[in-house]
Structure 1
């Protein structure tokens, strides 16, 4: 190519390495988008599936899908946990969790009762009494809310009154607080029109939905193309001026 000067090995290696890195990052973003879309499809399928026996699911939990289950047992009604101000239509309020002792189970199951809007004060909303005795529950057996970077240590251990409030719902901390083993996932109850709780359980990808991953992938692929274009522009032969030919 007569219009292109031969680039140095350093410039060539730098461009190739940069372009390959950008392409790799773009492909990774596409994979993340596909993974999240698959999770959303599995979640939607579980919501409409027939409930399975909880003991069978807990003994062999599905690795790549959610399970809709039914379970019999009793609430431990005096041990409520309030997840303070979860993301829910940008409203203040609490997500309420309670331990549940499954019949024949060897550990406690944390049940997500649902969301209660705030009352405009710093005090938690009034919690309705839970039913006593044996109960049949039905819902999605799913991972607990994600735990971010927690500052200040275990807030549950420092509280002596119930219900206890936390900004991170961490199952190992809950287990230590209850002094009992707990199942590694939680039961998000099905919606009930008669319940005071708002039960709109979704997988929260609002911070990074699949579409945003694809947008970042396009951005990384654009950087790869730009790296090659910059190399070509910097090493393009300039046309000779008439004065240079004389």
Structure 2
């Protein structure tokens, strides 16, 4: 004998839709946790790698999940800095500073991430320290460029006449067009330097939403799915007959 009353069709569909939605959100949170942990492992592995020559790393394009630890010699292009106005460093105001660099033996330019410079954003352009002149040797991580998005109004760099130029997104194609030169497909994030005015913390900052919090949210969504099923069963259970009902 069944313990449940025959449910209405809309109740079944509503419960099923809710359970599937909660399960989907829970799985998505688990995937986000795995992605962030993989990214943190990638940066940790890069820091332990031996330093390679940049030319060798570029000759064999690295896989997407590999961040080569490289050394490169060449010269900066002075007075051509770019300021990224949306860095994430402890929620402080400031900019991430990038400068074009010409490695020896090539006309192709490499965009160098000099680091984060604290300030009040680009409303008050910070005073940038001069770049070293002549041939210099740089060491850092050859990593993908900063993420891009949709910028209202199109290419902000083309509309600016003075340097440094600022943008809330930094698209390598726009930078190459602005400089009139070809760029390497990745940027060089310089290693930390105690004496530098720049803050160089290239490991992603997940303090606001660490992987563990994603898993906690996943547990909540899965719990909601279980609660939805329990509520459905509770509301459709057969009640015991009362004495008055037997007359």
Kept in 2: contact 1:75–1:100 (CA 8 A): yes
- 2 CA distance for matches of 1:244 and 1:22? 40
Kept in 1: contact 2:75–2:136 (CA 8 A): yes
Q: What is the RMSD of the two structures over their aligned residues, measured on CA atoms? A: 2.3
User: Which stretch of structure 1 is more off in the superposition, 227-236 or 102-111?
Assistant: 102-111
Q: Which consecutive residues of structure 1, in runs of 5 or more, have no partner in the other structure?
A: none
The 1:231–1:106 alpha-carbon spacing in structure 2 relative to 1, beyond 3 Å, is farther
User: Which stretch of structure 1 is more off in the superposition, 51-60 or 232-241?
Assistant: 51-60
- 1 CA distance for matches of 2:4 and 2:124? 72
Query: 2:78 is matched with which residue?
Result: 77
- 2 CA distance for matches of 1:81 and 1:121? 11
Kept in 2: contact 1:94–1:124 (CA 8 A): no
Write out per-residue CA displacement over residues 165-200 of structure 1, whole angstroms, 9 at most, x where no aligned residue. Answer: 222222121111112221222111011122222222
Kept in 1: contact 2:85–2:121 (CA 8 A): no
- Residues matched between the structures, number: 246
Query: 2:45 is matched with which residue?
Result: 45
Q: Once the 2 structures are TM-superposed, how far is the Cα of residue 84 of structure 1 from its aligned partner?
A: 2.6
Kept in 2: contact 1:55–1:105 (CA 8 A): no
Query: 1:110 is matched with which residue?
Result: 111
Query: 2:127 is matched with which residue?
Result: 126
Q: Once the 2 structures are TM-superposed, how far is the Cα of residue 51 of structure 1 from its aligned partner?
A: 1.2
- 1 CA distance for matches of 2:167 and 2:121? 18
Q: Which consecutive residues of structure 2, in runs of 5 or more, have no partner in the other structure?
A: none
- 2 CA distance for matches of 1:120 and 1:245? 78
* TM-score, length-scaled by structure 2: 0.89
SS in structure 1 at match of 2:189: strand
- Asked if residue 22 in structure 1 is aligned to residue 30 in structure 2, the reply is no
User: Which stretch of structure 1 is more off in the superposition, 17-26 or 230-239?
Assistant: 17-26
* TM-score, length-scaled by structure 1: 0.89
- Asked if residue 32 in structure 1 is aligned to residue 32 in structure 2, the reply is yes
Kept in 2: contact 1:39–1:65 (CA 8 A): no
Q: Once the 2 structures are TM-superposed, how far is the Cα of residue 20 of structure 1 from its aligned partner?
A: 3.7
